[in-house]
Amino acid sequence: DAGVTQSPTHLIKTRGQQVTLRCSPKSGHDTVSWYQQALGQGPQFIFQYYEEEERQRGNFPDRFSGHQFPNYSSELNVNALLLGDSALYLCASSLGLAGNIQYFGAGTRLSVL
């Protein structure tokens, strides 16, 4: 039973560039949430996708956008990267919008230089 998978595992970008991170949910799950975790902090909610639509959004600027595909996989895009975007980006999957339990992937560590 495949868990949540994310790619790439590490990424180095420079300021102003754009990045795309990918996530495949746990088998049987249809909802994907994205979180940003800065060093020493808990994960911060970015947004959640269900049925290919953004259903909930946290306090992140429009530079952060996403997409969900018919097979439930998801992408997180960040434009005009800032140094402060350096963080671990975590994808979590769950079942349905009311699904309480979220399972996390290993994350993508993004460094912006």
Partner 1 sequence: RKEVEQDPGPFNVPEGATVAFNCTYSNSASQSFFWYRQDCRKEPKLLMSVYSSGNEDGRFTAQLNRASQYISLLIRDSKLSDSATYLCVPKGSARQLTFGSGTQLTVLP
Residues in touch with partner 1 (CB under 8 A): 33, 35, 40-45, 48, 55-56, 58, 88, 90, 92, 97-98, 100-107, 109
**Which residue's CB is nearer to partner 1, number 7 or number 80?**
7
**Tokens matching residue 77:** 């895009």
**Which residue's CB is nearer to partner 1, number 25 or number 107?**
107
Least spacing, CB of residue 53 vs partner 1, in Å: 13
Query: Residue 61 corresponds to which amino acid?
Result: P
**Which residue's CB is nearer to partner 1, number 11 or number 104?**
104
User: Within 10 A of 14 (CB to CB), how many other CB atoms are there?
Assistant: 10
- Looking up tokens 């912006």 gives 112
